């Protein structure tokens, strides 16, 4: 019988540091699931993420503000909010909650042909 590994996304949170903390939870067949923990971090001035894959994110705790290149205004996120960031869309984290951990669940997967 195979041992089942149970992970609680709210346990063993890393302490707040200067950078966001990324933890791979699962990686199979071109799909990667990770937990991201932020506390007061933001993307450096002028820095944009631009990925070759799609990323679906769900905010589990805390709050955040993202800027997506194709949106005229920053996008605030609260607990329970999720969104798909298509491949090659430049985006950045403007802010995350500094009073409590902001925990994200991120799913990375190959972009379909568009």
Residue 90 within any structural domain of the chain: yes
State the pLDDT confidence band at 85, using cuts at 50, 70 and 90: very high
> Quick one: the chain helix, strand, coil %, rounded to 5?
0, 45, 55
Q: Kindly report, residue by residue over 22-76, the tens digit of the pLDDT.
A: 999 999 999 999 999 999 999 999 999 999 999 999 999 999 999 999 898 999 9
- What is the total count of domains within the chain? 1
Report the CATH number at residue 48.
2.60.120.10
Enclosing domain of residue 38: 21-110
Question: What does DSSP assign to residue 92?
Answer: E
Residue 5 within any structural domain of the chain: no
Q: Kindly report, residue by residue over 48-60, the tens digit of the pLDDT.
A: 999 999 999 999 9
Q: 46: alpha, beta or left, given left = phi > 0 and alpha = psi -120 to 50? A: left
For position 114, what pLDDT does the model report? 59
């Amino acid at each position: 019988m195979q041992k089942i590994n149970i992970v609680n996304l709210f346990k063993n949170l890393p302490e707040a540091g200067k950078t966001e903390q990324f933890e791979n939870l699962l990686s199979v067949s071109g799909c990667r699931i990770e937990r991201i923990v932020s506390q007061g971090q933001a993307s450096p001035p002028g820095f944009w993420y631009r990925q070759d894959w799609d990323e679906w994110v769900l905010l589990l705790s805390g709050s955040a503000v993202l800027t997506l290149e194709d949106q005229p205004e920053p996008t605030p996120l609260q607990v329970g909010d999720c969104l798909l960031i298509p491949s090659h869309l430049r985006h950045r984290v403007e802010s995350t909650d500094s009073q409590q951990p902001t925990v994200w669940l991120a799913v990375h997967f190959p972009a379909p042909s568009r």
